[in-house]
Amino acid sequence: MSEDKIRVRFAPSPTGYLHIGGLRTALYNYLFARKNNGVFVLRIEDTDRSRYVEGAVKNLIETLKWVGLDYDEGPEVGGEYGPYFQSQRLELYNNYSKELIEKGHAYYAFDTPERLRQLREEQQKKKLQPKYDKRDLNLSKEEIQKKLNAGEPYVIRLNVPPSEKVIVEDVIRGTVEFNTAIIDDQILIKSDGFPTYHMANVVDDHLMGITHVIRGEEWLPSTPKHVLLYKYLGWETPVFAHLPLLLNPDRTKLSKRQGDVAVEDYRAKGYLKEALINFVALLGWNAGDDKEFYLLEELIEKFELKQVHKAGAVFNIDKLNWLNGEHIRYKSPEVLLQMFKQEYENSEYAHLNFSDEHLLKIVKAMQERVTFISELITNCRYFYEAPNEYDPAVIRKRWKPDTPKHLTELINKFKKLENPTKEDYEHALRSTSERLGIGAGKLIHPVRLAVSGVGRGPGVFNLLEIVGQEEVIKRIQTALEKIKLEETLNNN
């Protein structure tokens, strides 16, 4: 194992979409590697053929690329420690399992599923921890060979010593002690000839020179089995770091039952990759201060494994939403425009054929007011179509008996403008308010209501410039007719 070069790996199983917890594991490995000028390896642990999902590997690689976690070695990239699919490394695992058998640290077991089920039921009745009873440990070489020749199904099990202490030094959890009395004789090679996770990951981590194993807390109980395997094969043990669980707000383990857990779900909903990475980084880690907004480069600079927490991390969707809005505000309007154009071209308003210049005005007007790019349409439909109704609460508050007269004066002023900018609209409105002897607000609020149908939004002069002179005048005239009609109906 290389002592001068840190090597870490992300080793997912291709059983579906990339889980948020998997993304965090990949991210922490990536950050640790980049911070320490190390190597980040992607390895596909595809030995459980019953759970293999077609297309999962392609999706996984695409998702890692989307979030910007570029790996140094692995599928499509290559490297000197390949192949990077465990299904292509079966001979290695079988060779090392035979070595363990020869050393007395593993053995063949020929149990039928019925016998194992019966053994488990008996142990449960006696309230014993279910574990294999080592029945086949003492079979003679002749008995074993006879069964193998007869084609009897078998597995290869780890021969765990009956009562030893196994010490695991964990960067996050400190010293963790296990007693082998409660550790099962783990299956290393299954009856189909494929290795279990335990055998394959130890062999591959060693052969690929992995120096630090950074993975989820759920693997901590299996770690003593891995430590024994390293010991029995005469290999140096890597540094372990087990990450805290991800929790729902009710502190249950994060699961599909309580919401989206796949990275693709969040991508489809319009979350920015920068916001998602920022959010996931904070699920169990902080730099020891109150800073919450990070770019990937800043995370690399700040990340330390020893600052990862032991306690479970709560998945707070409100914080993710807030971060998404913050990352939208951080980007330049020109960058947002390119993202917005995709939304616009797939929207019901694409037929309006707005120019990039026009769309950029919408971006600039709304950038401080949206959480998602899609809200540049859904939160401000008044940029694309005239309102069908007007907020009753705003009518009651802002539409006074003399409002129609004031707006009629303002319309006349607007009609005289030529190719007006927002500054022209502002000058026209303020000069009209002065001439009428009223505060500008008595025109601003009714104009906003008439043009947008609501009482809040971007600066009113931005609104007028974007909607355009002809349409602004038309909407104010329509509002004068409709709101008057509404008042008549309400009075009756």
Catalytic residues: 256
| Spatial CA neighbour of 11 closest among 179, 173, 215 | 215
State the amino acid at position 446 in one-letter form: P
Q: Decide if 455 contacts 445 (C-beta within 8 A).
A: yes
C-alpha 387/C-alpha 467 separation (Å) is 12
C-alpha 340/C-alpha 360 separation (Å) is 9
Q: Are strands 313-314 and 165-170 parallel, antiparallel or unpaired?
A: unpaired
C-alpha 471/C-alpha 475 separation (Å) is 6
Q: Count CB-CB contacts under 10 A for residue 81.
A: 18
Residue 114: strand, helix, or coil? helix
CA 93 vs CA 122, 206, 227, 307, 487: distances in Å? 33, 12, 17, 35, 82
Q: Count CB-CB contacts under 10 A for residue 61.
A: 18
C-alpha 486/C-alpha 397 separation (Å) is 15
| Spatial CA neighbour of 411 closest among 448, 447, 459, 453 | 447
User: Cα-atom radius of gyration of the chain, to the nearest Å?
Assistant: 33
CA 212 vs CA 40, 41, 93, 331, 488: distances in Å? 11, 11, 21, 35, 76
| Spatial CA neighbour of 12 closest among 367, 238, 263, 380 | 263
